[in-house]
Structures are given as C-alpha cells and as structure tokens.
Amino acid sequence: MPLTNPSLKNFLEPVPLVPHTAKLAALRSIFRSCNCDRVAVVNEQLQPLGLVYLRSLMPLADRSREWEQRLSEITPATLAPLSSVSADQSVSEFWQYLQTGEINTKTANPQKNKILLPDSTSLGPAGSIEGPLALTNSDGQFLGLLDSLSLLKFVAVNTSSIVRERATDYSLT
C-alpha cells in the first residue's frame, strides 16, 4: 500500500476496554490506573458496544453499593454510542464514504472490509459520522478508536494525493 494511502489502522488511538459483564468497581479501577477519560465496553466477542466516560460515573462517586453493579445493569445513558469501521479500510476509501455516503465497490475488498461502514444509528446526513469511531479487525473485534486529529493532519498534507488516487479509481481505463 502506498504511503499516501495508508489504512485507518495507522490512525489508531489505544483505549482501555472492559467487558460489559464487569462490575463498575473494575471500571473505576481502570480509570484510576490508566489516566484516561473513557473506556470502551465490549461484548464476549470483543465487539464494541460503546464508551463509558469518566464524567458519566461522577454521580455514583459517593454511593458505595452502586459500584457492585455490573455495567450491563446501569442506565443506557451512561454508555455513549460508538460506530465501527474496519481498520483495514484505506484513507481514500474512508474519504470517499464521507464525501458520497458510498464505497467504490471496484476498489473495496468485501472480504477485508466485513465491517466497512459505520453503524447507521450514528450517521448524520450523507455519510457524516457523529461521535467517536471504533476501529475493528476483520472479525469485528475492537482495536481502538480512530485518532481523528492525526487523520485530519494527514489528509491536510496529502489531500491532492488522495483526490488523485480517487480519480484513478474511477477512470475507465
């Protein structure tokens, strides 16, 4: 893969994760030890279910018995939605999706991109994505979050290369 069109995997931001069956006390321990503001919640297959932000747990700080609850028992408002995108997707494929809401099926590899598009529940108009994006492997397992600032910096420097590559993908030759 050319340096001008890396996969989204190159823009991965590591985030601690916890199974949805864990107790809130385990989540509190992660927040204390990892110096982070959010933790990804995953199911048994390690597929992302959402994010828990430290600020959403602040109301529980003085209620000791609440910490024995499992994550699956807490209010849904505590779990922020999370869209999933294949980490193997190239920057230009992702850029195309953001522009048009579609993936060029001539260049997209369906085997490689089993979970190619974000979950439709968090989509805005025409391919816009609201909220953080989870990067997943081909089995849909959580790898980390998309570091959108690093991706934006890359696109700002390489926009002409990405646009040129997209034009080549659509040529009739």
How far apart are alpha carbons 95 and 111 in whole angstroms?
A: 20
pTM of the predicted protein model: 0.75
* Helical (H) or strand (E) element with 18: strand 17-19
Query: What is the domain partition of the chain in residue ranges?
Result: 8-12+83-169, 14-80
171 has a pLDDT exceeding 80: no
Structure tokens at 74: 């807490």
Class of domain 14-80: alpha beta
40 has a pLDDT exceeding 90: yes
Over the stretch 57-87, which tens digit does the pLDDT of each residue have? 777 666 666 677 788 777 667 889 888 889 9
- CB contact at 8 A, 86 and 8: yes
The pLDDT, as a whole number, for residue 42 is 95
